[in-house]
Each structure stands twice: as C-alpha cells, then as structure tokens.
Amino acid sequence: MQDQSTTRHPYVWLICPQCGAHFRRIYRDYARSADGIRCCSKPCRKAYIRAQHPPCVYAIVHVPSGRLYVGSTAAPHERWRNHRGELTHGRHANAPLQAAWTESSPDAWEFRYLEVVPDATQLIAREQTWLDHYRATGLLFNRQPNAGTATGTVMPPSFSAMLSARQRGRHLSPEARAKIAAKARGRKWPAGRLPPVLHFTPTEVQAIRIRWANGETQQALASEFGVSRGAIGGIAIGRRYQHVPMDDDTAARVMARRIAVGKPPKPH
C-alpha cells in the first residue's frame, strides 16, 4: 500500500538557525508559522529568540505624547508580551500607564530598546540611570524613583493616611507575632535587594574582639581573615555585628584597648 501521508503532506527541509540541524516540517505547518522563526525543537526556538532579544533597559513609549514607562528585563520579548496582556485586560500595576493605554489605540505604543545590557546583573543599575535621565523631563509614567524596588515611592497623602490609620491600634497577640515571624522565616528577599553578607560566625566575631582587646593589631587580624582593616575595626569595637552581644568582660577590655590606642569612645 502506498504511503499517502507524503503525497498529501509534502515536507520542507529546513536548517535550524539555532543549532544548525537539518529537519523537516510538513509544508502546511511551515506556511502557517506566524513569526517566521523555524527551529528544530522548542528548546532551540526559545534559545534562538532569547539570543535575538538580549537583556535590556526598555521603554514603553506612547508615541503621540512622548510619555514613557522605563523598565529592564533579561527576556524582553516575554516582558513586552506580559505588559501588553496586563494593559489589554486593564490590570497593569502602573495606573497612569494603564489610564493612557485605555484612552488610546494600541498602535500608538512602541516597545523600544534604550540600551542592551549583556551582563544581566547590571540591569538595575542601568535602569536607574535611564530613570534618572527621563525623570527630569516629566514624561515618565514610572512612579517609583528607584529601579527594582518600591522604596521611596511617593504616595498620595490620602493613601498614606489610610495605611497609617490601618496600622494604628493594631495590637498583636504573642501567638500572632510568632505566626508572622514563622512565615517571614525563609522568605526570599525582594527583587533588586540582596541579603546582608555575613562573613563571620558569632564565635569568630567574639574571637576577633577578644584578640584585638588582648593586643593583636587590626591589620594582623585583617590579613589572617582576609578582610579589610576597617572591617576588623568595626567588629572589634562592636559597631559591626551588633547582633552578636559583647559580654561585660570583653566590653571592658575593648574599651581599655580603645583608650590605649588613643581612641576613647565618643559620648552618645
């Protein structure tokens, strides 16, 4: 019996632009492919599109008015799709941008690359530069002054008042506090912020304080532990690692050493 599938569905031979492999595709599917990107597999397709759209600082520009929303991302094509989806459904987090989108036609908007940032760890820093650059023009939709964090956002007075009124008179039972603390444990840090890096264990911190109080120099300790002299100094006098308590005996010896090296503690 003749294999009819080949006659009804002729194949096209293609070369994958990502891995270079030869592969074949049913002509009908080939002709229908909407974006013209033809890779041998889904992973290849994803890698190819990523390479075509490197990490960047971008702007969503309302062309007629020149107003714009600045952001940064490691996957621009996906980010633009997400923004558009939220805007289309009227649930974008940025209210001014959403309002402007609702009032105008989608054709009035452009997704523009402001800068390609090959090293994605630099995205937040570069976005900040662009935010600062456009802040002065008054054309920004962004309300948050700092890239990657909501810190410093100026809220309408009514909203601030509502939040503080809500907090006022909020007294938590010890059980409720314990519950919140348990939930907060293991929580990830918000995007764009990093947890503090602790180089030393409490035991090491105590050892550094005692050894400096006993006469070893900060420089010698710094060389031994591979940190700066200033870092050792901060630990030794208790300004750093304040969560590691100093017992009275150590505190007295540290104080004596400070006086001996001519740096008595400043009165508070």
Count residues near Zn ion (CB under 5 A). 6
Residue 117 as a binder of Zn ion (CB under 5 A): the answer is no
Distance in Å, CB of 43 to Zn ion, minimum: 8
Which residues from 196-215 bind Zn ion, rule CB under 5 A?
Answer: none
Ramachandran region of residue 265, left (φ > 0), alpha (ψ -120 to 50) or beta? beta
CB under 5 A: which stretch of 18-26, 83-91, 182-190, 234-242 binds Zn ion?
18-26
Reference 199, options 250, 251, 235, 246; nearest CA is 235
Distance in Å, CB of 29 to Zn ion, minimum: 16
Residue 18 as a binder of Zn ion (CB under 5 A): the answer is yes
Answer whether 237's CB lies under 8 Å from 267's CB.
Answer: no
CB under 5 A: which stretch of 34-42, 74-82, 194-202, 228-236 binds Zn ion?
34-42
Residue with Cβ nearer Zn ion (21 or 180) = 21
Residue 38 as a binder of Zn ion (CB under 5 A): the answer is no
Which residues from 40-69 bind Zn ion, rule CB under 5 A?
Answer: 40, 44
**Strands annotated E in 10-147:** 11-15, 22-26, 56-62, 67-73, 109-116
Q: Which of 11, 12, 14, 19 binds Zn ion (CB under 5 A)?
A: 19
Alpha-carbon distances, residue 140 vs 73, 77, 104, 136, 163 (angstroms): 18, 22, 17, 9, 26
Residue 16 as a binder of Zn ion (CB under 5 A): the answer is yes
At 233, phi and psi to the nearest 5? Answer: -60, -45
CB under 5 A: which stretch of 21-29, 63-71, 168-176, 214-222 binds Zn ion?
21-29
Taking the C-alpha atoms of residue 214 and residue 253, their distance in angstroms, rounded to an integer, is 8
Tell me which amino acid residue 219 is.
Q
Residue with Cβ nearer Zn ion (45 or 77) = 45
Residue with Cβ nearer Zn ion (21 or 162) = 21
At 56, phi and psi to the nearest 5? Answer: -155, 165
User: 3-state DSSP: the chain helix, strand, coil percent, rounded to 5?
Assistant: 45, 10, 40
Residue 75 as a binder of Zn ion (CB under 5 A): the answer is no
Distance in Å, CB of 19 to Zn ion, minimum: 3
Taking the C-alpha atoms of residue 265 and residue 258, their distance in angstroms, rounded to an integer, is 7
**Residues at the site binding Zn ion, with contacts judged by CB under 5 A:** 16, 18-19, 21, 40, 44
